[in-house]
Structure 1
């Protein structure tokens, strides 16, 4: 009997132990197979505005039937991976377009309002369907995948420290002491256009996906994240434990987690 994959998801956001406001935002849109997380910046609540604008714009873009123009789901070049991947193959351009639309709206809003000048946000987005995921991101919010107890980072930080490592000016083990490690090199809303980094991957039963802001990834070691993801079953509990661990480690920033888990299910095709 053919087995199909279904998913479940949970998310949580917390201001942390130092910040008075929470500039992170997230959304779990299970019917769409869409998961979004944004980490705002800008102060005076402008970061909160930017992150929420990013999430709302991408969500509304997928909910608007007119948003499929000019790249309609179900129309376009044939996939290279067979019919199973058609949704994510053709949904990925929509995801990128939605993120670029959010960038333009945030950029325009910041130019109109003096108090919001310089506001921006990261974004990490995952579109899931039929055993595949499309990942799109800008900034240093991350997407991890836990498979067979091995944690893999599916995104590449758009940060100054990562760029220094890539160019050979800094060793990876020196990253934690780098004085400008929180400076990002790419964000939504800071420029009129933005380059969105993307990838498509296959999903297997038992895979766990984690979208998180740097309030988690910059505070909790990867081995601790992997351990929490691997040793607990309740997704809401996993998200809460991750936030708790970040806060136990000082909670210097807002911390947000979205956890998604796939399992094999016998039966016919599902929407997930």
Structure 2
């Protein structure tokens, strides 16, 4: 299925601590946001993304309940982040958010920890599919920073719409209403480009990563 993706360091940060997964053959997509203010956020997101790619094979995804195997993948990624931090003292307490989706036959299975988000874009509107794991501005869930993450999950019929996965570098600048308007370009790659450009024009205060999937 067609998808578009873009990641950008933004206008303020010195490095990009986001990561993404785009596998149209498997219908597997993710965005990850290494935690700013923590050591090695870029390493955490990269380690977790690699673990997800390696664990979530076509064989596993075809043989199991989607949410069961996606959750297993998240826990594997969590353990990899912890193991890497344990072997490298300068990376202690590194962590990353993740929103992960499997898309098949017009349906999406979405699971996440942290404040990276998923939306359904349809008819110029956006519908949030995730709730941030946070309290008073602090994350309560992320890979690598809790004993065992408790991912939320949502199954949704896309109904001819698009699935948007994004880090908070997008949503801190663009309202939910704006996402539906800006992400409506006919071409999905152009939709991803337009969303990132809008966040940059609004200030680009954080890294910005966007994946748009056509149902």
- Indicate the TM-score class for this superposition, using the shorter chain for normalisation: over 0.9
Q: Which runs of 5+ in 1 are unaligned?
A: 1-6, 76-89, 162-180, 263-272
Q: How many residues align?
A: 215
Work out which of the two has the higher radius of gyration on C-alpha atoms and give 1 or 2: 1
**Residues 24, 37 of structure 1: 8 Å contact kept:** yes
Which residue matches 1:187?
142
Structure 2 residue runs of 5 or longer lacking an equivalent are none
Matched, 1:260 2:182: no
Specify which of 58, 62, 66 is matched with residue 56 of structure 2: 62
CA distance in 2, matches of 1:120, 1:217: 20
Using the size of structure 1 for normalisation, the TM-score is 0.75
Deviation digits for residues 93-152 of structure 1 (CA, Å, limit 9, x no counterpart): 111100011011111221221110111000001101122210010000000101233210
- Of 30, 33, 39, the residue aligned with 1:39 is 33
CA distances 1:250-270 after superposition (whole Å, capped 9, x unpaired): 1110000001112xxxxxxxx
TM-score (normalised: structure 2):
0.93
1:130 — aligned with what?
Answer: 105
Report what 1:246 is aligned to. Answer: 199
SS at match of 1:122: strand
- CA distance in 1 between counterparts of 2:201 and 2:63 reads 47
CA deviation map 1:217-269 (0-9, x unaligned): 11112222111123x2122221111111111111110000001112xxxxxxx
Q: Which 4+ stretches in 1 moved above 3 angstroms?
A: 42-45, 72-75
Correspondence for 1:48 among 17, 35, 42: 42
Residue aligning to 1:22: 16
Distance 1:10 1:148 in 2: 18
Query: Contact between 2:8 and 2:16, CA under 8 Å: does it hold in 1?
Result: yes
